[in-house]
Amino acid sequence: MHVVVFTRSTPDTAAKVEVDGSGAVIWGNAATVVNPWDEYALEEAIVQAKNGGGKATVIALGGEMHNDALKHSLAMGLDEAIRIDDPELDPTDSLAYATAAAAAVNKIGDVDLVIFGKESVDVGTDQHTYMLARKLGWTMLSYVSKILEVDYAAKTIKVEKMYEQGKQVVTSKLPAVISVMKEINEPRYPSFIGIRKAGKATIPVWSLADLGASLPDKKVDVLAFNNPPTKDVVVEMIEGEPEEQAAKLVDKLLEEKVL
Amino acid sequence: MVLQAVPQTRFTEEHEMFRKSVRAFVEKEIRPYVDEWEEQEIAPLHDLFKKMGDLGFLGLNYPEEYGGAGADIWYTVVLAEELARAGAAGIPMAVFVQTDMATPALAKHGSHELKQKYLTPAIRGEMVCAIAVTEPNAGSDVAGIQTRAERDGDEYVINGSKMYITNGTQADWLCLLARTSPGEGYQGMSLIIVPTNLPGFSVSKKLKKLGNHSSDTAVLSFENVRVPVSNRIGEEGMGFYYQMEQFQVERLVGALGGVAGAEYTVRDTIKYCQERKAFGKPLIANQWIQFKLAELLTEIEAAKQLNYSCAALIEAGADGMEITRIASMCKLKAGRLMREVADTCLQFYGGMGYMEETPISRYFRDARLTSIGGGADEIMLGIIAKLENMNPR
Ligand SMILES: Cc1cc2nc3c(=O)[nH]c(=O)nc-3n(C[C@H](O)[C@H](O)[C@H](O)COP(=O)(O)OP(=O)(O)OC[C@H]3O[C@@H](n4cnc5c(N)ncnc54)[C@H](O)[C@@H]3O)c2cc1C
C-alpha cells in the first residue's frame, strides 16, 4: 500500500510577486515555501499511509527550487521524496505534468491513493489533477474535506466533498486521485528530528527517460506575463446629514450601475 | 530596501528549516493567544510545552539519551531569535527557564536516575520546571541566600522562601539553591531538585509586575519539605559554582532573544514611520528619525555579532571563564540596548505608543527586565571587571 502526494515550492504568499522588465516573474529575495494548500495533502498522506500500514512518497515536478518543498515534506514525516526534472518538461503545461506524473505513479507501482492540495497558489490551477486521474484511468475525487472510511483490502474509499452549496458524501473504488481542502486536517510542524532526517536526505531526480515517458505535443503556449493594470481610484466625499448622504450614495450607485 | 544581516555561514540549510518551523509554530500556536495570556497574567505552559516537546524544541542541547536533540548551539540561537516574535517577552522567558535556566546543571552534573526522572519529562514538555535562586533578602548577592536544606538520614528537610520565581505557580519541579551546611558565603550550598507536590511546599503569592505579564512569577515557601538526598545535583557544597555555570547560557539566551526582539521593534517602527504622516510628509522623511533608527540598527547588528561570538565560543568548548566574560558582556549590552530601543521607538509612535494595547507599549514594559533579571547590569559589570583583573592587588 502506497500513498503518493504531489507538491511544489511557491513564493511565500507574503512576497510581492511581479513581472520584471524582461518579462520574467520575480519575487525579490523572498523565500519559497511549500505550496500552502499542499500542507494539508502532505499531512493527509502521512496519516493515510500510517493507517494503511504503508508508505508515503512525495513528488515534485520541476527544477531545484522544488527541493525546498520536498525537504519540508520529509521534515514533516513523508517517507520518501522524488523530483522529476527534464529539460523537455515544462511543469506549468498541465498535460505534460499529468503525463510525467502518471508515469511516475506507475513506476512506483502499488499506489492506492494520490493526493493533491486543492490548487497551486502561484499558478492558480488544478487541471493537472484531473488530467492525471484520466491518464491513470482512476477516479477523481476533488475538494475532499474529510476521508470518512478507507478499506485498503476491499479497495474502497468514502469521502466528504465540499462545495459552495454544501457537502456531498461519495464512495468510490481505489485507486483514486483526490484533492483536499484545508478543512481536512491540521498540518503538523516539522519536528527537529524530521528536519535532521530531511537535511541528510539526497533526493533522487527522475528524468523522462527514467520514467519511459514521452510528452504529448504542447497544448498551451505562454506568450507573456504582465503585471495587472493599476487602477485609478477616485475618492469622492459625500457631504450632508446621514439621510442625505445615504440618498446621494444610492443615486450614485444607480448611476454607476452598481445596483 | 529591507536591511539584511551579513549572511551567517553558521546557519546551514537545516538551521533555516528549523527556523521556518519555529516561526510557523510561533505564528499559529503562540501569537493568536498572547493577548489573552497577557490579560490572564499566565500562559498554559503544560499545554504549550507539550506541543513544543513533541516537536523536539525543548531539548536542543541535551543528549538524545534523555530525549534531547544533541544539536549544536546555533539551533538554540534560532529558537531564541524566532521565539522573540511571540509578541510578548513573557513567553520566550517561560520557555528558556525550562530549556536553559533550570535544566543545564541537572543535565551536566545530575545522576542518571535524576535526569531520567526530571530532565526527560522537561524535554518532552510533560513537566514544567523553574529555577529558584533569588530570595526576599538575597538577589544580586546570591551568596547571601538563607534557605536551608538540612540532612536527616536519607532526606533533606527544606525551610525558607524564594522570590520572583518565573513559572513558579505552575512548575512541577524546581531547581533549588539552598544551604546544605551551616555557615555563610559561597561554600556549603547545593542545587536540589524539589518536586512541588510535596507537603510543606506552597506558592505564597503570585506577583503583579510592570511587564512580562504572560509569565507567572511567584513567591514560594518551604516548611519542612522533605526530599531524598538523591535529588541533589552533583556534589554537596558545589551548588553555588554549578549555578554560576548555569547562569552563562541563561545570560546568552536572554541576550539573543533580547537583541532579536529589539531588531523586530525597530523594523516595525520604521514601517509605522513610513505610514504615519505629520506636516504633510511621512514621519520617516525626517532625517532625525532616520538617523536615530539607523543608529539603533547599527547597535543591534554589533550586539548580535557579539552574541554570535559568544555562541561560537560555547560551541567550540572554550574556557569557562572566557565564556562567562563574553556572556556577561552580551547580557549587559542587550539589556541597555533594549531600554534604548524601547524608549526611542515609543517616542516615534507618539500618543499611539503610549496606548496600553499597542505592541510598542508592551515592548516598553517588557524590555526593562533584561537589565535586572538573571543578574543586574551592575553585577555584569562586576564580573567583567573582576575577570579583567581590575581589582587592586
Ligand atoms: C520578572 C522577574 C523574573 C525573575 N525570575 C527569577 C527566577 O525565575 N528565578 C530566580 O531565582 N530569580 C528570578 N528573578 C530575580 C532576579 O534574578 C533578581 O531580581 C536580580 O538578580 C536582582 O536581584 P534583586 O532583585 O534582589 O536586587 P538587589 O540585589 O536588591 O539589587 C538592586 C539593584 O542594586 C544594584 N546593585 C546590586 N548589587 C550591586 C553592586 N554590587 N554594585 C552596584 N550596584 C548593585 C543593581 O542596580 C540592582 O538592580 C526574577 C526577577 C524578575 C523581576
Grouping H, G, I as helix, E, B as strand and the rest as coil, residue B374 is coil
Average pLDDT over residues A64-71: 95
- Which of 118-177 (A) contact B at CB < 8 A? none
Domain ranges of chain B: 13-124, 129-237, 240-387
Fold of the B129-237 domain = Butyryl-CoA Dehydrogenase, subunit A; domain 2 (2.40.110)
Phi and psi, residue B222, nearest 5°: -125, 120
**Residue B3: band (very low, low, confident or very high) from pLDDT cuts 50, 70, 90:** very low
Q: End-to-end CA distance of chain A, in Å?
A: 56
Q: What pLDDT does B9 receive?
A: 65
Beta pairing partners, A29: A27
A192 closest CB neighbour out of B18, B20, B24: B18
Name the nearest CA neighbour of A209 among A53, A103, A80, A63: A103
The pLDDT tens digits for A207-246 are 999 999 999 988 888 888 888 888 878 888 888 899 999 9
Residue B153: count of CB within 10 angstroms of its CB: 9
- By C-alpha distance, the chain B residue nearest A75 is B17
Instruction: Provide the CATH number for the domain around residue A202.
Output: 3.40.50.620
Is residue B8 pLDDT above 70, yes or no?
no
State if residue B209 touches ligand 1 by the CB under 6 angstroms criterion. yes
In a domain, A158, yes or no: yes
Tally the domains of chain A.
Answer: 1
Position A258 confidence tier, pLDDT thresholds 50, 70, 90: confident
Q: Which of B38, B42, B131, B140 to mutate to test the pocket of ligand 1 (most atoms within 8 A of CB)?
A: B140
Res B253: pLDDT? 96
Within 8 A by CB and 6+ apart from B118, the residues are B106, B110, B127, B129, B173, B193
B60 alpha carbon – ligand 1 mean position (Å): 28
Is the bond preceding A175 in cis, omega lying within 30 degrees of 0?
yes
- Amino acid B113 reads E
Split at pLDDT 50, 70, 90, the class of B163 is very high
Q: State the pLDDT at residue A230.
A: 82
Q: Do A191 and B17 touch (CB under 8 A)?
A: no
Distance B32 CA to ligand 1 centre (A): 32
pLDDT digits (tens, 9 = 90+) for B75-117: 999 999 999 999 999 999 999 999 999 999 999 999 999 999 9
Atom of ligand 1 nearest to the CA of B140: 29
Interface check B46 vs A, CB under 8 A: no
Tell me the C-alpha distance between A30 and B192, whole Å: 48
Q: Give φ, ψ of B193 to 5 degrees.
A: -85, 120
Looking at the domain assignment, is residue A110 inside a domain?
Answer: yes
Is B27 noted as a catalytic residue in this protein?
no
Specify whether domain B240-387 bears CATH 3.30.110.30.
Answer: no
Helix (H, G, I), strand (E, B) or coil at B313: helix
Hey, is the C-beta of A75 within 8 angstroms of any chain B C-beta? yes
Shortest-distance atom of ligand 1 to CA B211:
1
Q: Is B17 on the interface with A (CB under 8 A)?
A: yes
Give the pLDDT band of residue B331 (cuts 50, 70, 90). Answer: very high
Torsion of CA B344, B349, B354, B359, to 10 degrees: -90
Question: Any residues with CB less than 8 A from the CB of B57 and at least 6 apart, and which?
Answer: A192, B22, B25, B79
| Complex confidence, ipTM | 0.84
Domain presence at residue A221? no
What is the per-residue pLDDT across A196-212, written as a single tens digit (0 to 9) for each?
999 999 999 999 999 99
Q: How far is B215 from chain A (nearest CA, A)?
A: 25
Span from the CA of B374 to the centroid of ligand 1 (angstroms): 7
Per CATH, the number for B13-124 is 1.10.540.10
From the list B41, B250, B263, B299, the catalytic residue is B250
Pairing status of strand A80-84 against strand A205-206: parallel
Q: Which atom of ligand 1 is nearest to the CA of B376?
A: 49
Taking CA atoms, what residue in A is nearest to B23?
A189
pLDDT for B263 beyond 70: yes
* Span from the CA of A59 to the centroid of ligand 1 (angstroms): 55
**Minimal Cβ distance to B13: which of A33, A190, A199:** A199
What is the position in ligand 1's atom list of the atom closest to the CA of B371?
49
Instruction: Determine, yes or no, domain membership for A54.
Output: yes
Residue of A nearest to B22 (CA): A189
Asked if residue A222 belongs to a domain, the reply is no
Residue of B17, B24, B54 with shortest CB distance to A195: B17
Q: For residue B68, is pLDDT > 70?
A: yes
Q: Which residue minimizes the CA distance to atom 24 of ligand 1?
A: B139
- Give me the domain span that covers residue A197: 2-211
For residue A240, is it within any domain?
A: no
Q: What is the mean pLDDT of chain A?
A: 93
Instruction: Specify the residue with its C-alpha closest to ligand 1, atom 4.
Output: B164
